[in-house]
Amino acid sequence: MTPIAASVGSLYTEGWSLVISPTTLLLILAGVLVGMIVGAIPGLTANMSVAVLVPLTFTMSPTEAIAVLTGIWLGSMYGGTLPAVLINMPGTPADLMSTIDGYPMSRRGEGGRAIGIGVLSSFLGGTFSVLVLGTAGPTLAAFARNFGSAEYFAVAVLGLSVIAFVSGSSMSKGIISALIGLLLGTIGRDALTGQTRLTFGQDELFGGLDFIAVVVGIFGLAEVMEQVYARRHRVKERPQEIAGVWAAVKDVRPLKWVIARSSVIGTVVGAIPGAGATIASVISYGTQKQVSKQPEKMGTGAPEGLSASDSANNAASGGALLTMLSLGIPGDSLTAILLGALIVQGVEPGPLLFENDTQLVSSIFICLLIANVCLLLIGMFGARYFAKVLDVPRTLMYPLITVACISGAFALNGSTFDVWVMLLSAVLGFLFARADIPKAPLVLALILGPILETNLRRLLSLHDGDVTASAGTLVTSPVGLPVLLLTAALFALPMIRALRHRNPARRVGEQHPADVGPRRK
């Protein structure tokens, strides 16, 4: 009997006896609450909180341990949406894309509506990934196990192609921003040779720039600097419409295909070891902008953009857990921590886990489902109170945000160097705002640049530097070629759409602008 056949019929029934206890249910609820608080504080990540709390789970049962740790994980994924929507500061890296449409919605006075859409999308995306985890887990994880340098390179190229869709009205400025991000991504030790690059003798730079410090500075503190420079702190913020949070249910109904597509993307990308929720949300957002009927509205406060990002990053959590449980391979850094916690409990994740301990695997899935329900209830009932953050006077809010940025950057590694990185990133973000250069391409390039470079060089080294042979491996890859074709399609769709807008006017007999005016003799 295969692991799938052994698990599908009982994964959602056998573990109830382990989960339905006051202690386990309280641990799930507490984990979600702690995760939401951690995710809402820029600089404090789920990795940090889970790593700190792992020793406290050594005296718990495996079910109780996974209950509290996964609760923190899911809670932080949604908690990061709150500052992203309300103050344009992603609480976690995976919520970077949520700022693009979430913050403009709150500036229009729709903070409560944006939070409602975000929590519903997170709930649906997370629930979808859990269902996939229980039915097609080992099969999808085995597919992801085949990923090599060629496949990772193709995925990184696909992620970088999203830069074309978050560059605003000026592609050239978006490219400038991305090039700066790629340059910053080269700082530190070379992953293949160990040589240091652009460290200028600073030992703190050997590991590269801390991504969280850069994000907190360029999105958080830079926004404060921009608001103060423009004297907007003297302008009263538009009141948030927080009464109709549950009305977001109506907003989500037309987005059902957006959530379905983004959930699939998030689950598949999350199952790829090393990819993670950030790349999943980037790819999902770029895909949505290409298939959208009104792509010009994305980036100006479009609910579909916020929904695509939040559903994908929460779905990625189930995908990453899928790889960890069925193969024993962590899908990202956080599942690596969870893997260690399970091993300490005497649990050995892998294909045999689905056959030998179905009850434990079932309890994990049930814990995830309950955690998603807790996330939905807390997020929806608490949304009106979260949105009231913007009712705080700006003269008080901006100093609080500044303190949060500095303390969050210091908390990353307990180093003042990260604070300086955050401050310099804030200055760079302020200059970008003054020059109307988009910030998102820089951050995306900073994330994906090292992945792209490392896997390209590894692919070339496998063929002794032969570019033709490396390209042949990439093209013949059953994963690499489709991903590259998808990337080409994403670039081609805008041109196809532009041609469609031109040709119908000709066919129906309308005058083309070039035909208007006096004819030459």
**Residue 457 or 520, more confident:** 457
CB 325, CB 353: distance < 8 Å:
yes
H helix intervals, 234-357:
248-252, 256-271, 276-291, 303-327, 333-344, 353-356
Share of the chain above pLDDT 70, in %: 73
* Number of residues that make up the chain: 521
Look at residue 507 in the predicted model and tell me its pLDDT. 45
Six-digit token string for 508:
């129906």
- Beta-carbon neighbour count of residue 506 at 10 Å? 11
Instruction: Please determine, for residue 316, whether its predicted confidence score (pLDDT) is greater than 80.
Output: yes
The band of 158, judged by pLDDT with boundaries at 50, 70 and 90, is: confident
Is 504 part of any domain? no
90 is a domain residue? yes
What number is the average pLDDT over the span 138-164?
A: 69
Contacts of 349 (CB under 8 A, 6+ apart): 324, 325, 326, 327, 328, 339, 342, 343
Any domain includes 325: yes
Q: What is the pLDDT of residues 178-191, one digit of tens each?
A: 888 888 888 888 77
Residue 278's pLDDT is 77
Q: Is the pLDDT of residue 8 over 70?
A: no
Which of 18-27, 54-63, 66-75, 300-309 shows the lowest mean pLDDT across its residues? Answer: 54-63
What does R_g of the chain's alpha carbons equal in angstroms? 23
Confidence at 387, pLDDT banded by 50, 70, 90: low
Q: 406-416, pLDDT tens digit by residue?
A: 887 787 678 88
375 against 383, higher pLDDT: 375
The predicted model gives 182-206 an average pLDDT of 81
Q: Which residues of 150-188 are buried (b: 16+ CB within 10 A; e: fewer)?
A: bbbbbbbbbbbbbbbbbbeeeeebbebbbebbbebbebb
Looking up tokens 């085995």 gives: 142
Residue predicted with more confidence, 243 or 92: 92
Residue 348 φ then ψ, to 5°: -115, 95
Within a domain: 398: yes
Residue 178 lies in a domain: yes
pLDDT at 298: 81
Q: Taking residues 331-348, report their average pLDDT.
A: 70
Q: What is the reported pLDDT for 424?
A: 92
206: domain range? 3-492
Least confident segment among 20-29, 152-161, 310-319, 449-458: 152-161
- Domain tally for the chain? 1
Q: Is 510 part of a structural domain of the chain?
A: no
Mean pLDDT computed over every residue of the chain: 75
In a domain, 75, yes or no: yes
Cα torsion angle, 450, 453, 457, 459, sign: positive
Measure the CA–CA gap between 65 and 53, rounded to whole angstroms: 10
Average pLDDT over residues 64-93: 78
The Cα–Cα gap between 504 and 144 comes to: 43
- The pLDDT of residue 491: 66
pLDDT at position 517, please?
45
Span 418-437, pLDDT tens digits:
889 889 988 998 898 888 88
Helix (H, G, I), strand (E, B) or coil at 197: strand
The answer to whether residue 498 sits within a structural domain is no
Question: Which tokens is 151 given?
Answer: 């496949």
What confidence tier does 146 reach under pLDDT thresholds 50, 70, 90?
low
- pLDDT value of residue 366: 84
Please tell me the pTM assigned to this model. Answer: 0.64
Q: What is the pLDDT of residues 79-91, one digit of tens each?
A: 777 778 877 777 6
- pLDDT cut 90: percent of the chain above it: 1
pLDDT digits (tens, 9 = 90+) for 117-138: 888 888 888 888 888 776 765 5
Per-residue pLDDT tens digits for 455-509 = 888 888 888 888 888 888 888 877 778 878 877 776 666 566 656 666 554 444 4
Of 75-84, 269-278, 376-385, the one with minimum mean pLDDT is: 269-278
Give the mean model confidence (pLDDT) for residues 320-346: 70
Which pLDDT score is estimated for 3?
42
